[in-house]
Amino acid sequence: MSGYLAEGAEGFEEGEKRGQEQDSRLSFDVTIEIESVSDFVKLSGQEAKMSGRVSYKPLGEGLPIQEGVFTLFKPDAASGTRQMIYSFWFTGKGGTDYSLFGYKMIHDDPGMDALEDMTKLFTRLSHGRQKGGALVGSGVLRFKMLDLPSMLSSFEVTNTNSPITKIRTISMFVQFC
């Protein structure tokens, strides 16, 4: 995921626009580890471990993600939407800790916008290791569809040597999504 974030911006679109004008890009690459795909797809809102690296020029490049959590299709009772949530903290240059909280809003509204819903991450960067610290900035990150083939080819099913089991497991996850 990559996109633009502006320091001091409270609104997501405002942060994206100002971030573009300032060429203030934030990106992260993650690995999501799902212990049991068959259990994971039975109930929306399941959490999975997430690891990887985050880059934001003012704070540093290739910084390790700490305590990353990915939540898939968490239901929001108030709005009837589902969210994909990315949450982690990292230590920037100078030793200061920051937290990133991002969500994708998945909802059924008029038109064919599911693709945009699945690729647009509303992002907040805060001071500290937990969501809700003093705001650093906001913006929008996006997953580029050109990256989809490499993402799909990166899926790895462990604890089996059976090609059939691997294909079934990946198919089960993709169908759930």
Predicted confidence band of residue 102 (pLDDT cuts 50, 70, 90):
very high
Phi and psi at residue 145, in whole multiples of 5°? Answer: -60, -25
Amino acid letter for position 39: D
Classify residue 156: in a domain, yes or no: no
Classify residue 151: in a domain, yes or no: no
Assess whether pLDDT exceeds 80 at residue 109: no
CA–CA dist 75, 125 (Å, integer): 23
Share of the chain above pLDDT 90, in %: 44
pLDDT (tens digit per residue) in 116-172: 555 788 999 999 998 889 999 999 998 765 655 565 555 666 666 666 766 666 666
Classify residue 17: in a domain, yes or no: yes
pLDDT (tens digit per residue) in 12-54: 999 999 999 999 999 998 887 877 666 666 666 678 888 999 9
Residue 170 CB partners (closer than 8 Å, separation 6+): 152, 155, 157
Give the structural domain span for 107. Answer: 2-144
Assess whether pLDDT exceeds 90 at residue 89: yes
Phi and psi at residue 45, in whole multiples of 5°? Answer: 90, 10
Classify residue 164: in a domain, yes or no: no
CA–CA dist 31, 13 (Å, integer): 27
- pLDDT (mean) for 73-95: 80
Classify residue 49: in a domain, yes or no: yes
Classify residue 158: in a domain, yes or no: no
Classify residue 115: in a domain, yes or no: yes
Looking at the 3D structure of the chain, how many domains does it have?
1
Q: DSSP class of residue 23?
A: T
Residue 124 CB partners (closer than 8 Å, separation 6+): 100, 101, 102, 131, 135, 137, 138
* CA-to-CA dists, residue 167 to 32, 153, 173, angstroms: 18, 11, 10
- Provide the pLDDT for residue 62: 97
Classify residue 171: in a domain, yes or no: no
Higher pLDDT, 175 or 70: 70
